[in-house]
């Protein structure tokens, strides 16, 4: 009988994390340790940001001992076709290791290229289940320049098809990055809006991980730490952008990804997909706008865990928790009402229809389409 009271879970966290200001200087050493001294490196970045900031030159200098192919065409919302093109180039180059430096989109594209380069099919086939990954991914090293996607420690890659208004996802156990180099100096390059949006993504993910029906003690501990760190630092990171707050948010984002790789984001992200696909709402904004309403919905079902959550937020009750979330978003320059994003009452049905309902199955309190519709109308 005593065994029934003990938690039972499987924990996944295979990524080596290298954290600290200036840690990107270790990239060459990590490549050599991961893939060998003569490795061929397929380097994926965005379309010019790192070059304009002077960061790309330093990265390439650090990789001077290796043969490097630069793929600097990652877009903000990479498509399956972009993933196929990157994978084709990666395979033709004969890469031994893939390195991604940039925001979540660049890392997701690099991650997709690393697994697809070892396979013959197209991204859409694997994302829809028409094909399955048979071989492990090429080793992947991630260095994020934003603090919120957590892609540097997760096994998923998000892809977007605007023509069919669909979001696709690639995922597999071998897609976890081999190494995450989390350098807060890279996060210093973020403008206010980007710091707010990416931070809100990970902040929201921590709440979702905490109320997930699959949550367990280790993911809960990480989620509470993430919530505490963002509640204290996100506004300062977005507005002042000082090293201390940016470093705290960089660490929190990585912690969030480690946690939610085991207890995943759910309802806010399920609704957020529709907001991004149909109204082009930035990802962090799209998931954050429903965080307070979903917290109200879930609170009673996780009453045994609410004390720790309220303590992490440094508030006394659920109402105060929702008010603090709203205040953080407003101070960061984010919208807290759907109407502020251009959503009208007549659009609610489209959001409900476009919601990824498989994600809402992880809520501790079941929600019907009619109940979601009512909640969203209350958020207008």
Q: CA 313, CA 243: separation in Å to the nearest integer?
A: 22
**What pLDDT is stored for residue 7 in this prediction?**
83
Picking from 36, 169, 51, the residue whose alpha carbon sits closest to that of residue 101 is 51
Q: CA 164, CA 307: separation in Å to the nearest integer?
A: 43
- Per-residue model confidence as pLDDT tens digits over 55-89: 999 999 999 999 999 999 999 999 999 999 999 99
Angle of CA points 11, 248, 305, to nearest 5°: 50
Residue 170 has pLDDT above 90, yes or no: yes
Q: CA 300, CA 372: separation in Å to the nearest integer?
A: 17
The CB-side HSE value for 246 (13 A sphere, CA atoms) comes to 24
**CATH match for 16-187 among 3.40.50.1970, 3.40.50.300, 3.20.20.10, 3.90.230.10:** 3.40.50.1970
Helical packing angle, 80-93 and 104-116, nearest 10°? 60
Q: What is the DSSP string of 166-225?
A: EEEEEE-GGGS-SEEEE-HHHHTT--HHHHHHHHHHHHHHHHHHHHSTT--HHHHHHHHH
Q: CA 156, CA 162: separation in Å to the nearest integer?
A: 19
Q: CA 116, CA 82: separation in Å to the nearest integer?
A: 12
Q: What is the domain partition of the chain in residue ranges? A: 16-187, 192-378
Q: CA 144, CA 23: separation in Å to the nearest integer?
A: 11
Residue 101 has pLDDT above 50, yes or no: yes
- Per-residue model confidence as pLDDT tens digits over 322-336: 999 999 999 999 999
- Per-residue model confidence as pLDDT tens digits over 41-58: 999 999 888 888 889 999
**What pLDDT is stored for residue 137 in this prediction?**
97
Cα radius of gyration rounded to whole Å, the chain: 20
Picking from 187, 177, 245, the residue whose alpha carbon sits closest to that of residue 22 is 187
Higher pLDDT, 6 or 355: 355
Distance separating the N- and C-terminal Cα atoms of the chain:
49
> And the tokens for 274?
């529709």
Angle of CA points 161, 164, 165, to nearest 5°: 70
Percent of all residues in the chain with a pLDDT value above 90, rounded to a whole number = 93
**What pLDDT is stored for residue 1 in this prediction?**
43
- Per-residue model confidence as pLDDT tens digits over 187-220: 999 999 999 999 999 999 999 999 999 999 999 9
Give the other-Cβ count within 10 Å of 330's Cβ: 12
**104: burial class by Cβ within 10 Å (0-12, 13-18, 19+)?**
buried
Rounded mean pLDDT, 124-135: 94
154 SS3 class: coil
Picking from 131, 134, 82, the residue whose alpha carbon sits closest to that of residue 109 is 82
Q: Do domains 16-187 and 192-378 have the same CATH topology?
A: no
Q: How confident is the model at residue 4 (pLDDT cuts 50, 70, 90)?
A: low
**What pLDDT is stored for residue 51 in this prediction?**
87
**CATH match for 192-378 among 3.40.50.720, 1.20.1090.10, 3.40.50.280, 1.20.1440.80:** 1.20.1090.10
Q: What is the DSSP string of 360-372?
A: HTT-SS---HHHH
Q: CA 380, CA 335: separation in Å to the nearest integer?
A: 11
Q: Are 268 and 287 in contact (CB under 8 A)?
A: yes
Q: CA 344, CA 332: separation in Å to the nearest integer?
A: 24
- Per-residue model confidence as pLDDT tens digits over 275-318: 999 999 999 999 999 999 999 999 999 999 999 999 999 999 99
**What pLDDT is stored for residue 48 in this prediction?**
81
- Per-residue model confidence as pLDDT tens digits over 245-279: 999 999 999 999 999 999 999 999 999 999 999 99
**What pLDDT is stored for residue 53 in this prediction?**
83
């Amino acid at each position: 009988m005593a065994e029934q009271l003990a938690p039972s879970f499987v924990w996944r966290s295979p990524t080596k994390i290298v954290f600290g200001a200036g840690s990107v200087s270790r990239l060459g050493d990590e490549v050599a340790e991961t893939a060998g001294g003569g490795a061929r490196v397929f380097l994926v970045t965005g379309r010019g940001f790192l070059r304009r900031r002077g960061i790309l030159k330093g990265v390439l200098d650090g990789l001077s001992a290796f043969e490097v192919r630069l793929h600097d065409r990652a877009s903000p919302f990479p498509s399956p076709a972009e993933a196929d093109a990157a994978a084709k180039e990666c395979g033709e180059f004969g890469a031994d290791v893939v390195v991604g430096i940039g925001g979540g989109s660049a890392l997701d594209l690099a991650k997709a290229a690393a697994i697809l380069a070892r396979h013959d099919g197209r991204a859409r086939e694997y994302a829809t289940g028409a094909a399955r990954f048979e071989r492990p991914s090429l080793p992947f090293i991630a260095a994020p320049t934003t603090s919120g996607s957590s892609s540097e420690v997760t096994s998923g890659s998000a892809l977007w098809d605007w023509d069919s208004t669909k979001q696709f996802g690639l995922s597999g156990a071998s897609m976890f990055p081999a190494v995450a180099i989390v350098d807060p100096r890279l996060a210093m390059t973020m403008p206010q809006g980007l710091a707010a949006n990416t931070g809100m993504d990970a902040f929201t993910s921590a709440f979702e991980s905490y109320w997930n029906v699959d949550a367990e003690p280790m993911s809960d501990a990480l989620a509470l730490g993430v919530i505490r760190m963002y509640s204290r630092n996100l506004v300062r990171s977005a507005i002042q952008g000082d090293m201390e707050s940016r470093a705290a948010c960089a660490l929190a984002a990585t912690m969030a990804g480690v946690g939610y790789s085991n207890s995943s984001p759910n309802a806010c992200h399920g609704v957020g997909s529709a907001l991004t696909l149909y109204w082009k709402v930035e990802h962090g904004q799209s998931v954050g706008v429903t965080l307070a309403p979903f917290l109200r919905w879930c609170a009673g079902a996780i009453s045994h865990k609410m004390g720790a959550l309220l303590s992490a937020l440094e508030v006394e009750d659920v109402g105060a928790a929702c008010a603090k979330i709203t205040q953080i978003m407003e101070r960061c320059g984010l919208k807290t009402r759907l109407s502020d994003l251009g959503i009208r009452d007549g659009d609610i049905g489209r959001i409900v229809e476009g919601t990824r309902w498989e994600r809402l199955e992880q809520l501790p309190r079941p929600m019907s389409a009619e109940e979601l519709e009512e909640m969203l109308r209350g958020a207008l």
